[in-house]
Amino acid sequence: MFFLYNLLTHIAAPILKIAALFSPKMKLFVSGRKTVFYTLAEKIQPNDKTVWFHAASLGEYEQGLPVMEKIKAKHPNHKIIVTFFSPSGYEVRKNTKAADVVVYLPLDTKAKAKKFMDLTHPELVFFIKYEFWPNYLNEIKKRNIEAYLISGLFREKQVFFKWYGGFYREALQAFNHLFVQYDSSKKLLQNIGFTNVTVSGDTRYDRVSEILERDNTLPFIEEFIDGKTTIVFGSSWQKGEAMFVDFINNSKNTKLIIAPHTIGNDHISELQNSITKKTVLFTEMEGKSLADYDVFIINIIGILGKIYSYADAAYVGGGFGTAGLHNILEPAAFGVPIIIGPNHQKFPEAVALVQMGGCIAVKDKAEMEEALSLLAYDDTYRTEKGHIAGTFVNMNRGAVDTIMKKITD
């Protein structure tokens, strides 16, 4: 099976190059990997001490960041290397100050894994959540490098737990310890012989809790809100926007902020044209009296987390399509009640928060409008839901301390 895996990995390379001709995202995926080894050779010297963090995409990076910061504080003279598999992570965080070197992870072939490890020679390795690359993990094991999985998430359908997944199970042996989010993951790993497992929880709770301590002030948002009840529609997709645009058009005495997932001009124009309320774009706000507007469309990325601090209620997108639910923990950390779509079952934090009552799952336009109306106009209902959301985040903190204590013991 491992031979077949390696064969398919080699075959994938030219196929990806062809796909890049037709997909902007795939073009970034392919072109971004062309200079990885050159960048590593330029930025890492043979005598440098390094720590390597690997994240699939942006969400996993955010999970790993609080551990990364603790490791940096503990080893200030080590260079932090961050690798991404996906362009959606790399393109957003390629200039992060948390790391010394940020690159794409080269495809998982034996030769590339060896070359990568030769150039980076890490003393510590952290993989985040669920990306497992057998050739890289085998290189880590061969070199006897200390390695950890953090915020791990395992499901019964994964290859590790199938009869044909032996080489994947062997790759997991590279980890000195596996920190998982839930007891169910620990039990699955124990069933295949792994005892070096700790249920630490999800580091994202620690990460989002940290945003409460930073400066979240945005004067232009304060001017726009003008003391009124505010609903933020974060990371919205077209399917979700179709569900809430009529509520926006019919709302009264409410300020509405939309931060779409897609900020291309065509989509922003279409969204703006569907709204009958007085609307302003972030990129066109200069010189305008923002308090005079009802709807603020944020057509840039990078400030949604701070905007949530001004929300009285929030809708978080992704739950009406197949792309995946976006981050509900950021608004929850601020004690903001949340509305999401029906496709959230693969997100344990969403399932749990819905069960607790701090998050409302809606399946259609009618339910969306009902939930928005309750949160917009019923102060008691909104306050109760928000308190549950904030408490939920606070009671799940502590994963980072558990991980660091185990590592440093």
Tell me the pLDDT tens digit for each residue of 76-87.
999 999 999 999
The Cα-based distances of 322 to 10, 295, 318, 325 in angstroms read: 29, 27, 7, 8
Residue 388 has pLDDT above 80, yes or no: yes
Average confidence (pLDDT) over 184-203:
95
- The torsion angles phi and psi of 164, rounded to 5 degrees, stand at -95, 5
Band (229; pLDDT cuts 50, 70, 90): very high
Average confidence (pLDDT) over 206-211:
89
Band (247; pLDDT cuts 50, 70, 90): very high
Lowest mean pLDDT segment, chosen from 21-30, 153-162, 216-225, 308-317: 21-30
Q: Determine contact, residues 304/298, Cβ cutoff 8 Å.
A: yes
Band (17; pLDDT cuts 50, 70, 90): confident
Q: Would you state the pLDDT for residue 359?
A: 98
Tell me the pLDDT tens digit for each residue of 297-340.
999 988 999 999 999 999 999 999 877 899 999 999 999 999 99
Residue 224 has pLDDT above 90, yes or no: yes
Residue 341 has pLDDT above 80, yes or no: yes
Helix (H, G, I), strand (E, B) or coil at 90: helix
Percent of the chain topping pLDDT 70? 100
Both tokens of 66, joined, read: 């609080």
Three-class DSSP labels, 363-397: CCHHHHHHHHHHHHHCHHHHHHHHHHHHHHHHHCC
Band (22; pLDDT cuts 50, 70, 90): confident
Cα–Cα dist 142/208, whole Å: 36
Residue 114 has pLDDT above 80, yes or no: yes
Residue 1 has pLDDT above 80, yes or no: no
Average pLDDT score, the chain: 94
Helices and strands per DSSP (H, E), number in the chain? 19, 14
Q: Would you state the pLDDT for residue 256?
A: 98
Q: Which long-range contacts (CB under 8 A, 24 or more apart) does 107-112 make?
A: 107/9, 107/12, 107/13, 107/33, 108/9, 108/133, 108/134, 108/135, 108/136, 109/6, 109/9, 109/10, 109/135, 110/6, 110/135
Radius of gyration for the alpha carbons in the chain, expressed in angstroms and rounded: 23
Average confidence (pLDDT) over 350-379:
97
Q: Which are the catalytic amino acids? A: 60
Q: Which domains are present in the chain?
A: 23-201 (3.40.50.11720), 216-390 (3.40.50.2000)
Cα–Cα dist 139/127, whole Å: 14
Q: Determine contact, residues 68/83, Cβ cutoff 8 Å.
A: no
Both tokens of 394, joined, read: 């606070």
Residue 3 has pLDDT above 80, yes or no: no
Q: Would you state the pLDDT for residue 324?
A: 86
The pTM of this model reads 0.82
Helix (H, G, I), strand (E, B) or coil at 130: coil
One-letter identity of residue 9:
T
Which residue is associated with the tokens 């839901």? 385
Q: Would you state the pLDDT for residue 264?
A: 92
Q: Would you state the pLDDT for residue 175?
A: 97
Lowest mean pLDDT segment, chosen from 23-32, 278-287, 368-377: 23-32
End-to-end alpha carbon distance in the chain: 37
Give the DSSP H or E segment for 80: strand 79-84
Please list, in sequence order, all residues whose beta carbon lies within 8 angstroms of the beta carbon of residue 286, skipping any fewer than 6 positions away: none
Residue 27 has pLDDT above 90, yes or no: no
Q: Would you state the pLDDT for residue 350?
A: 95
Q: Would you state the pLDDT for residue 58?
A: 87
Tell me the pLDDT tens digit for each residue of 257-296.
999 999 999 999 999 999 999 999 999 999 999 999 999 9
What DSSP character marks residue 106?
P
CA 235 to chain centre: 12
Tell me the pLDDT tens digit for each residue of 346-359.
888 999 999 999 99
- The pairing of strands 229-236 and 254-260 is parallel
Tell me the pLDDT tens digit for each residue of 44-97.
999 999 999 999 998 899 899 999 999 999 999 999 999 999 998 899 899 999
One-letter identity of residue 23:
S
